[in-house]
Amino acid sequence: SDLLVGSSRLDRRSVIRDIRDSLQLFREKTRFIMPIELKTQDTLEYVFHPVPSRTLRFKVRAANDAHIMLSATANPEGSDPVLEVFIGGWSNQKSAIRRDRATPDKANVETPDILSNDELRGFWINYLGGAIAVGKESEVEPFLTWTDPSPINVAFFGVSTGYGASGEWVIDDENYDIDPLRNIVDTPDVPSASGEVAWVPSQGGVIPPNAVLGGFDNENLYVGRAQHEGGVIPGKVLSSHGVCYVAWGGAEHGK
């Protein structure tokens, strides 16, 4: 990654404005993911939230039976169309997809010990055009799939646990949209040794002299840039982390 160094007071402000303008080009596509943390009891009662995107990413700690419901409305009635995903059902031995709370299940697979009561384990559910896929956090290929011939306009998801299990959930909420530029601020009083600006290569969080200060988040944030997805993207450098963070695709990436 590179850090921006040098610059007079006027140059610093100009550079900050240029970086703001560059980041603004993809601001609408950049979202800060604020996790939803909640607990469910051994009741099989769903707790509902709006779906964050077509892919639901979450972690759950439960001994068995982590249930996820997808629906068009919050708190659907018994006659409303719904999809249910059961992870670690049947005493943590199987996972399944069910439509409208009815059996037989539309799909089920053997997944022995897929859940743990000792640690959070990550999963994702993708739903688009009736095709539903369920996978593990670290795996691209789903372990459970089904295509709904009568797709539901999914707008809400609910989570629950039961059959002797309670659960702890951490759910990525990409609807929590904040300004990715919030920590980039003018720093007119920072001393400067030069009227020139330049990008200086840096590794391991080393901050060169006269680096441009971009903000503060428990520690100084410096203006940096790094290569990602075929481009060079402005970002923030945290010395203690040893990386430059760039925003892309709804997440921060350390480079």
Domains belonging to the chain, first-starting first, are 2-31+179-254 (no CATH), 36-171 (2.60.120.200)
- Give per-residue pLDDT as tens, 12-33: 555 555 555 555 544 444 444 5
What is the pLDDT, as a whole number, of residue 30? 43
Low-confidence ranges of the chain (pLDDT < 70): 1-34, 174-197, 215-218, 230, 248-251
Query: Global pTM?
Result: 0.59
What is the pLDDT, as a whole number, of residue 176? 40
- Give per-residue pLDDT as tens, 164-192: 999 999 998 754 433 333 333 444 444 44
Distances (CA, A) of 36 to 44, 48, 70, 103, 186: 19, 11, 17, 31, 33
What is the pLDDT, as a whole number, of residue 197? 64
Which contacts (CB < 8 Å, 24+ apart) does range 138-146 have?
143/95, 143/109, 143/111, 144/85, 144/95, 144/96, 144/97, 144/107, 144/108, 144/109, 144/111, 145/107, 146/97, 146/106, 146/107
What is the pLDDT, as a whole number, of residue 123? 96
